[in-house]
Amino acid sequence: MNSTDRTVRRRCYESYFGALEPHSGPLYQVYAEKLRTLSSLAAARHYDSLCEAQLRKRCFPENGTCQLLDPAVHATLVESIQAHLEPYHRWQSLRAERLGVETLRPWDLRAPLTAAEPPTIPYETAIEHIIASLQPLGESYQEQARRFFEDDRADVKPHAGRNNAIGYCHSSIADGPFVLCNYADTFRSMVTIAHELGHALAIEQVRDRPLQETAAPRAVEEIPSVTHELLLYDYCIEQGGLLGEYGAVHRADSIGGLLFDQARYSAFVRALVDRVESDRQLTRAFADNRYLKLHTAFSPTVEFVEESRLEWLHRNIQRDPFHHYQYVLGAVGGLVVADRVRSGRWTDTEYRQLLVDMGRCSATDLFESIGLDITTPAPYQTAADAFEPFVAELA
């Protein structure tokens, strides 16, 4: 899907979803049954809704950390992002213009926006770039990042017996964090490492804290990883050349995806769950049609094809239904934190304190500590406004 050849991208898209089609019925049945079962369990445990159950559940059994997020935040998040889609629409129009096509198709959404060959970034070079990008967080933080890699805590090459996930950070209180990534010498792989390192170093900051403070609620745990991403994009743009161009494009793609694409999936899941909880039949046709309706609202410049109705079936349906919101909140918080760090308004000490507070405060209080009331529409509008310059810089 990253090919510069549109025909290749189309064939890849059609082949992938063509192979998925025979399995789509069973996948839908499994997911629908999952929603019905979880909704029944939520009712049996006296929650008003599955959303409430998921946003108040224990998310880290090791130390008892719970979500404790008001379900109204989820509704506010979705409605507020939907009310501020203009910058995202402009980004898609700009993508079509840069690609030289009248109409975007699904296979164009990850296409390179430059005719030049993408940069090849060996793993060792990527680590140098990542550590250099963390300069606004101070020398001691950079040194901590360097030690993380020197201690061989990043598993980046395929080998027997490993989980070949794109990337994630896993940890234990006793052994600390590790990063897993299929590194492919690409810009996107470098960003994945930087993102997961944000999680890893956040965990490192609290390993000596009391047990109950060693994990953060889902609603705030993406803030450090998005902060790392944004600092890396800034660094690459400052370097200029092909690295800078890819940095600018990936910044718009990534932050746009976190803010708008994840809000779309949040709205989609909410619609399916509402259908189940109102005792109406959740049919495959309803799910497919609702998905395409939301996709059209969020991406009106994209002309969808028959296979597009299958897209939702390959998007982490194995995870908790209500999980997309945490990436929206990660972007909302990360945009503010990265701006404070790179502008010098925050020192590395203040950033480290934020990481500690993530395990001590409720999600709502943590956001309030950085000036964001996530129970209101304002932070989401601010985030959409902050995305606008990313698009303007590419115009």
Most confident of 99-103, 217-221, 329-333: 329-333
Q: How confident is the model at residue 115 (pLDDT cuts 50, 70, 90)?
A: confident
Residue 295 has what pLDDT? 92
| Domain range annotation of the chain | 6-114+212-392
* Burial grade of 16 (CB within 10 A; 0-12, 13-18, 19 or more): middle
The least confident of 85-99, 198-212, 307-321 is: 198-212
Please give the model's pTM, rounded to 2 decimal places.
0.95
Backbone angles phi, psi at 154, to 5 degrees: -115, 120
**In what helix (H) or strand (E) does residue 176 lie, and over which residues does it extend?**
strand 176-181
Predicted local confidence at residue 185, as pLDDT: 94
pLDDT in tens, 119-136: 999 999 999 999 999 999
Residue-wise pLDDT for 345-384, tens only, equals 999 999 999 999 998 888 999 999 999 999 999 999 999 9
Domain 6-114+212-392 in this protein, CATH class: mainly alpha
Please name which of 196, 183, 277 lies closest in space to residue 232, comparing C-alpha atoms: 196
What type of residue sits at position 293? K
Q: What mean pLDDT is predicted for residues 328-354?
A: 96
Question: What's the mean per-residue pLDDT of the chain?
Answer: 92
Identify the pLDDT of residue 353. 95
State the burial class of residue 378 (Cβ atoms within 10 Å of its Cβ: 0-12, 13-18, 19+). middle
Residue 195 structure tokens: 């993102």
Name, of 156-165, 213-222, 335-344, the range with top average pLDDT: 335-344
Q: What is the pLDDT of residue 68?
A: 78
User: In the beta sheet, which residues pair with residue 302?
Assistant: 104
Check pLDDT > 60 for residue 64: no
Higher pLDDT: 184 or 390? It is: 390
pLDDT in the model for residue 164: 60
Distance CA 194, CA 296 (A): 32
In this prediction, residue 209 has a pLDDT band, given cuts at 50, 70 and 90, of confident
Quickly count: other Cβ atoms within 10 Å of residue 125's Cβ: 13
pLDDT for res 264: 97
Task: Count CA atoms within 13 Å of residue 249 on its CB side.
Answer: 20
User: Sheet containing 154-155: which strands, arranged edge to edge?
Assistant: 154-155, 176-181, 167-172
